[in-house]
Amino acid sequence: MDPKTHALFVERARIIKALAHPSRLYIVDRLSQREHCVQELAELVNADISTVSRHLSILKNVDIVKDEKRGTKVFYSLHTPCVLNFFGCVEKVIKSSARERADLLEKES
């Protein structure tokens, strides 16, 4: 693999890695409805505020979300909404594997 191709796939993985966590996926899901401040998100994902703040900085580092400070609060919103397209395919994968497990069960019975 030539260096440029390698760099491209490293970069792609960097983006996908940022999404590869249940809390971060849920945060993205909530932000797809409307902006939220850190505190609100912490309640939604039911985790320590500092933990959520770290999740948000990971998402911000790859520009999936953006932040805007208003007063003492920081409001986060989706910067690249197309990441929501991921979910559609992910559901397909889940269903496909669920179907296979079901098929397998039928054959076994």
In the complex, which residues of this chain contact DNA (CB under 7 A)? 17, 20-21, 23, 37-39, 47-51, 53-58, 67, 69, 71-75
For DNA, the closer of residues 66 and 80 by Cβ is 66
The span from the CA of 104 to the CA of 98, in Å, is 10
Say how many C-beta atoms besides its own lie within 10 A of residue 84's C-beta: 13
- Residue 77 interaction partner, one of a copy of itself, DNA, none, beta carbon < 5-8 Å per kind: none
Say how many C-beta atoms besides its own lie within 10 A of residue 24's C-beta: 20
Identify the helix (H) or strand (E) that includes residue 53: helix 49-61
Q: How far is the CB of 21 from a copy of itself (least distance, A)?
A: 6
Measured in Å, how far apart are the chain's first and last C-alpha atoms?
46
Residues in contact with a copy of itself by CB under 8 A are 1, 5-6, 9-13, 15-17, 19-26, 29, 44-46, 62-64, 79-80, 82-83, 85-90, 92-94, 96-97, 100
